[in-house]
Amino acid sequence: MTIRVLVAEDQAAVRAALVMIVGSAPDIEVVGEAADGEEAVRLALALRPDVVLMDIQMPRLDGVGATRAIVAEDAAQVLVLTTFDLDEYVFGALRAGAAGFLLKDADADSLIEGIRTVARGDGALAPSVTRRLISSVARPGRTDTAEARAAVSALTGREREVLVCLGEGLSNSLIADRLGMAEATTKTHVSRILAKLSLSSRVQAAVLAQELGIVPGR
């Protein structure tokens, strides 16, 4: 199935390069381009792409605000592009529901694979980087513990096991291997966890798991 992508980047030359790289993949189609955050939101709602490739710093509305608006409408998965590794903009975008992030200097193969990864429901980072990122974003005790624990306690036993794996930064395939189930079943569990916990992305679920201290070693 073709992955439909919206590219949001304010610099015309950079946007053109991203469109060229992304469009070169046989299974990806660029369905729109946005030069600022407000246009990104408008086009995402109109086009309903699978993935929005989102520059974090843009005029009129930055990538964090645009991500929040797009995720709130369940219009697309958002993959954030940033110049800086693990800065406050990245944290803000992930808390707003972004599915992952890549650095702007990522090579073409990494960019294309990141889009594919987000489109199939995984975070767009290697597990080791994901764990570091989640640990940086998470602040133990910051979550409304009583309310969050009540929601987590309503999960099934299997769903709790999957949530712990998410907190460790594991992809769907790695979770499936660890828990001995099909990857499609894992994806279903992740979707149910997000719905039950009123979360927008697996990264948010991972952060919650760490903030509640249910991940081994936390």
Residue 61 sits in a domain whose CATH number is 3.40.50.2300
In a shared domain, residues 14 and 85: yes
Same-domain pairing of 116 and 167? no
Domain count, the chain: 2
Claim to verify: residue 117 and residue 145 sit in the same structural domain: no
Choosing from 79, 99, 124, the residue where a domain stops is: 124
Verify that 88 and 162 share a domain, yes or no. Answer: no
Domain that holds residue 142: 137-211
Distance CA 124, CA 34 (A): 22
pLDDT at 17: 94
Dihedral Cα 91, 85, 190, 97, nearest 10 deg: 30
Query: What is d(CA 84, CA 82) in angstroms, rounded to the nearest whole number?
Result: 6
pLDDT, mean of each 10-residue run, the chain (218 residues): 96 95 96 97 97 93 94 92 72 81 85 88 56 58 69 93 88 90 92 89 81 74
Tell me the two tokens of residue 44: 């995402």
DSSP, res 126: -
Give the DSSP H or E segment for 72.
helix 63-72
What CATH number is given to the structural domain containing 146?
1.10.10.10
Same domain for 93 and 151? no
Residues 118 and 145 in one domain: no
Domain boundary residue, one of 93, 124, 155: 124
Q: Is residue 70 part of a domain?
A: yes
Q: Hey, which residues does 181 pair with through a beta bridge? A: none
Handedness of CA 107, 138, 172, 199 (dihedral sign): negative
Q: Is residue 58 assigned to a domain?
A: yes
**Do 86 and 22 fall into the same domain?**
yes
- Is 10 in the same domain as 107? yes
In this structure, are residues 203 and 94 in contact, taking their beta carbons and an 8 Å threshold? yes
Domain termination site, one of 124, 155, 188: 124
Report pLDDT for 85: 62
Any domain includes 31: yes
To the question of pTM greater than 0.95 for the whole model, the response is no
Helices marked H in 86-171: 88-95, 108-119, 127-137, 145-153, 157-167
Name the percent of the chain in helix, strand, coil, to the closest 5.
Answer: 55, 15, 35
Distance of CA 161 to the CA centre of its chain: 20
Q: Does residue 119 fall inside a structural domain?
A: yes
Residues 120, 141 share a domain: no
22 and 97 part of one domain: yes
Residues 92 and 180 in one domain: no
